[in-house]
Structure 1
Amino acid sequence: MTPTLPQEILTEVMKHVGENDLMTLQRSILVCRHWCRAIVPLLWRKPFHHTHRNTAGKRKLIPVYLACLKEEEKKYLTANDFPIPNSKPPLFNYITYLQWLNDFYVLDAISTWSRKNRKRRLLSQLLVNKFITECPKLRSLHIHTLQQYRESDILSKITLYHTTLEVLHVKEITRFVSETENDLIVGLVNLIKSQRALKEVVLAGVLNGIDKLVLSLRAKHSRSLKKIKFEDCDFRVKGEIWDLVSGSFVNLELLNFYGCYGLNTSTLKMWTKGLKAQIHIDFSTVELSAT
Structure 2
Amino acid sequence: MTCSKIFSGDLPELTYKIINYFQNDYSTLHSCILVNRLWCRLAIPLLWENPFSIGTGNYNFIKIYLNNLEDDLKTKLNEYKIINNSLPSNLLFNYLKFLKFLNINTFILYVEKWFEVAIKKNTIARPNNLTDICVPLFKIFIENEINLYTLEINVSGYRNFDLTCFDKILELILKNTNFILNISNLNLYVSDYFGNIGAKNLLSQIINLHKNLKKILICYCNLPIYQSLLISKDSNCSNSLNKIIFYCVNFITYLDKIFEQLNALESVHIIYCSFLNNSFIQQIINLTKPLKLKSLFMNDEKSESNTDESLLLLLQKSGCYLENIEFGNSCKLELEQQIFESVINYCKNIKFLRFDSQIAFQISSLTENIKHNLNYLSINDDPSSVKIRKNSTLLQDLGRALPSKLEYLSLNLFIKVNDFMIFLEDSQDIFINKLIIIQRGWDDIKNII
TM-score, length basis structure 2: 0.44
> What is the distance in 2 between the residues matched to 1:23 and 1:91?
21
SS at match of 1:85: coil
Q: Which amino acid aligns with 1:143?
A: L
Q: 1:173 to 1:238 in 2, by over 3 A?
A: closer
> What is the distance in 2 between the residues matched to 1:119 and 1:220?
41
Q: 1:36 to 1:110 in 2, by over 3 A?
A: same
SS at match of 1:273: helix
* Aligned partners of 2:33 and 2:39 also within 8 Å: yes
> What is the distance in 1 between the residues matched to 2:45 and 2:200?
28
1:201 corresponds, among 245, 249, 252, to 245
In structure 2, the gaps of 5 or more residues are 1-7, 120-127, 151-183, 192-196, 332-449
Aligned residue in 2 for 1:288: none
Q: How does 1:1-291 map to 2 (within 5 A)?
A: 4-6=10-12, 10-16=15-21, 18-51=22-55, 54=56, 56-57=57-58, 59-68=59-68, 71=70, 75=73, 85-86=83-84, 88=87, 89=89, 90-115=91-116, 118-119=129-130, 123=134, 127=138, 130=141, 134-138=146-150, 141-145=186-190, 148=199, 150-151=201-202, 153-157=205-209, 159-160=210-211, 162-165=212-215, 168-171=216-219, 173=221, 175=223, 181=224, 184-188=226-230, 190=235, 193-195=238-240, 197-198=242-243, 201-203=245-247, 207=251, 209=253, 211=255, 214-215=258-259, 219-221=263-265, 223-225=266-268, 227-229=269-271, 231=273, 241-244=283-286, 248-250=290-292, 252-256=294-298, 259=302, 264-265=307-308, 268-274=311-317, 275-276=319-320, 277=322, 279-281=325-327
Q: Which amino acid aligns with 1:85?
A: I
> What is the distance in 2 between the residues matched to 1:14 and 1:45?
14
Aligned-pair CA distance for 1:124: 7.3
Q: 1:150 to 1:20 in 2, by over 3 A?
A: same
Q: 1:284 to 1:262 in 2, by over 3 A?
A: closer
Q: Which amino acid aligns with 2:134?
A: L
Q: Which amino acid aligns with 2:30?
A: Q
Q: Which amino acid aligns with 2:18?
A: V
Aligned-pair CA distance for 1:272: 2.6
Q: Which amino acid aligns with 1:27?
A: S
Identity of aligned residues (%): 17
Aligned residue pair count: 260
* Aligned partners of 2:305 and 2:330 also within 8 Å: no
> What is the distance in 2 between the residues matched to 1:94 and 1:282?
47
Q: Which amino acid aligns with 2:70?
A: E
What per-residue deviation string (whole Å, max 9, x for no partner) do you get for residues 140-194 of structure 1? 543334873632633245x34x5454xx32335554xxxxx45x42125546635
What per-residue deviation string (whole Å, max 9, x for no partner) do you get for residues 58-102 of structure 1? x2243333334x539x859x79xx998355455433343234433
Aligned-pair CA distance for 1:251: 6.0
Higher alpha-carbon deviation: 200-209 or 116-125: 116-125
Q: Which amino acid aligns with 1:215?
A: F
Q: 1:169 to 1:251 in 2, by over 3 A?
A: closer
Aligned-pair CA distance for 1:201: 1.4
Q: Which amino acid aligns with 1:150?
A: N
Q: Which amino acid aligns with 2:264?
A: K
What per-residue deviation string (whole Å, max 9, x for no partner) do you get for residues 76-132 of structure 1? 9x79xx99835545543334323443334333323322359743598279749947x
What per-residue deviation string (whole Å, max 9, x for no partner) do you get for residues 206-265 of structure 1? 5475526751687432x444x332556697979963324599344614435774669743
Aligned-pair CA distance for 1:47: 2.5
* Aligned partners of 1:242 and 1:267 also within 8 Å: no
Q: 1:126 to 1:60 in 2, by over 3 A?
A: closer
Aligned-pair CA distance for 1:22: 1.9
> What is the distance in 2 between the residues matched to 1:207 and 1:232?
8
Q: Which amino acid aligns with 2:202?
A: E
Q: Which amino acid aligns with 2:326?
A: H
* Aligned partners of 2:278 and 2:306 also within 8 Å: yes
Q: Which has the higher contact order (CA 8 A, sep 6+)?
A: 1
The structure with more radius of gyration: 2
* Aligned partners of 2:247 and 2:271 also within 8 Å: yes
Q: 1:201 to 1:238 in 2, by over 3 A?
A: closer
> What is the distance in 2 between the residues matched to 1:217 and 1:122?
42
> What is the RMSD computed on CA atoms of the aligned residues?
4.9
